[in-house]
């Protein structure tokens, strides 16, 4: 049987507070787990249509991103492909605006859409400019990562826990040294 193509993608801007939760979960996964062949785990930033290569021709896409939804910051909700496609994509002016929904529509029309898509959505607190997650969202990072691991187990692509974490903090969390006087 061919090895399925599964991609775990973290979306978000690491410079915009809690919007960094997607990239953070990716860092958490890469630091603590080793993934089997067929699974790619990538922090894709805020790619607009540059998401296409990561989504095209995959079997399953697991996306971690912030979502607007009820509940306090740090609440996690999952959405299916059908739920994501239930709303049409929106008109837009700039290339940033087309997001996941539009990429899925375009790839469906092109015949290269992934079979399954799962969105693991985290409700953000502050998305003001600045580096660092709010405590409620920081606390959601291991839970969201565990959900991704669980999904992979369900696909018979369970990752292996590393004996010790491969790194301690993502590069953007390195404290800025105060300008010397």
In the bound state with other proteins, the residue whose beta carbon lies nearer, of 46 and 60, is 46
How far is 141 from 27, CA to CA, in rounded Å?
Answer: 10
59-86 in b/e burial notation, b at 16+ Cβ within 10 A?
Answer: bbbbbbbbbeeeeebbbbeebebeebbe
Q: Which residue carries 């090895």 as its tokens?
A: 3
The least CB distance from residue 145 to other proteins, in Å, is 18
For position 5 contacting other proteins by CB under 8 A, the verdict is: no
Task: Establish how many alpha carbons lie within 13 A of residue 77's alpha carbon, considering only the half-sphere containing its beta carbon.
Answer: 15
* Member of 3, 36, 110, 169 binding other proteins (CB under 8 A): 110
How far is 46 from 61, CA to CA, in rounded Å?
Answer: 16
For position 36 contacting other proteins by CB under 8 A, the verdict is: no
Which helix (H) or strand (E) element contains residue 44? strand 39-45
Site string for other proteins, 127-146 (x = CB under 8 A): x-xxx---------------
The least CB distance from residue 13 to other proteins, in Å, is 6
Q: For residue 78, what are its two tokens?
A: 């999952």
Nearest partner of 6 among 56, 36, 35, 40, judged by Cα: 40
* Member of 87, 156, 163, 168 binding other proteins (CB under 8 A): 87
* Member of 31, 89, 136, 158 binding other proteins (CB under 8 A): 89
For position 167 contacting other proteins by CB under 8 A, the verdict is: no
Q: For residue 169, what are its two tokens?
A: 């903090």
The least CB distance from residue 17 to other proteins, in Å, is 9
Nearest partner of 24 among 14, 35, 37, judged by Cα: 14
* Member of 4, 75, 101, 173 binding other proteins (CB under 8 A): 101
In the bound state with other proteins, the residue whose beta carbon lies nearer, of 57 and 153, is 57
* Member of 99, 114, 125, 159 binding other proteins (CB under 8 A): 99
């Amino acid at each position: 049987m061919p090895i399925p193509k599964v991609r775990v993608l973290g979306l978000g801007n690491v410079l915009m507070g809690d919007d960094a939760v997607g990239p953070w979960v990716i860092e958490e996964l890469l630091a603590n787990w080793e993934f089997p062949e067929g699974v790619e785990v990538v922090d894709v930033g805020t790619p607009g249509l540059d998401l296409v290569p990561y989504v095209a021709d995959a079997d399953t896409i697991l996306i971690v991103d912030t979502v607007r939804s009820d509940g306090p910051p740090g609440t996690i909700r999952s959405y299916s492909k059908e739920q994501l496609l239930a709303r049409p994509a929106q008109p837009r002016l700039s290339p940033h605006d087309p997001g996941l929904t539009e990429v899925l529509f375009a790839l469906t029309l092109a015949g290269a859409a992934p079979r399954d898509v799962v969105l693991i959505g985290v409700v953000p607190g502050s998305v003001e400019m600045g580096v660092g997650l709010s405590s409620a969202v920081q606390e959601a990072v291991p839970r969201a990562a565990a959900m991704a691991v669980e999904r992979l187990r369900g696909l018979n692509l369970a990752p292996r826990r590393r004996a010790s974490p491969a790194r301690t903090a993502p590069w953007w969390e390195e404290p800025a040294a105060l300008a010397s006087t």
